[in-house]
Structure 1
């Protein structure tokens, strides 16, 4: 007779009951789809998010690195590193901020905005295909994601 090892001491009787595990699995599939969609554009997903966000935000005036990182919900240090990579490719530049002498204003270059426009078409097509399985439930799913995004942050954080 063999003793079967005990299962994980989980609150769930089946892994498919865990919203966290399901979110992890779906996120990994979605990220793989986005990587494939962005590959022809020569952008990583985080590069795309920051370039597209900057292109969107700069229409309303000067954008600081902090404002961009807050909007994209990215780590400020990682944001700085990605911006340097985009800047080295001529997609982003830093200009003197018009009202704050200590700050620099970020702007997508003409080439950067054009790339963001081409890439966003691929990203949005990828999203349409990926989320099509939700059918009429896509709006409710998006609303649920907003609730999660706007909810309380991590405990102790």
Structure 2
């Protein structure tokens, strides 16, 4: 797992596992890799509180609930229907939350950190923008996931 070092890890080697029928996230089990992952974060909310007999004229910050950010995944369209099958099932009312893991790899492709999204579900899908000019663009699809918590190991 993570090792303290002088140079930070690069952000270009990672694996994404969508759980379910797509496998564990090991190499060779993912149908299509993702090129971008963003939104790995959360925010803790605080309530302000002060007793009437406090000697100091300031409020305390009392920890309250927290919210997690939606996670956005992007990948080139590869013709695999497994991702769209999950989206279609959810769209038709199927409840299918999944454990989603994003694993950062070092230069030797060894895992150095894993973010686990608890009970992730598709929130938004955007298909590729198609344009008949130039022919140098890659057809990209985007998936936004909502989830109920994030863990790091």
Q: Same fold (TM over 0.5)?
A: no
Q: Which has the bigger relative contact order, CA under 8 A and spacing at least 6?
A: 2
Higher helix share: 1
TM-score normalized with structure 2 length: 0.22
Larger strand proportion, structure 1 or 2?
A: 2
TM-score, normalized by length of structure 1? 0.22
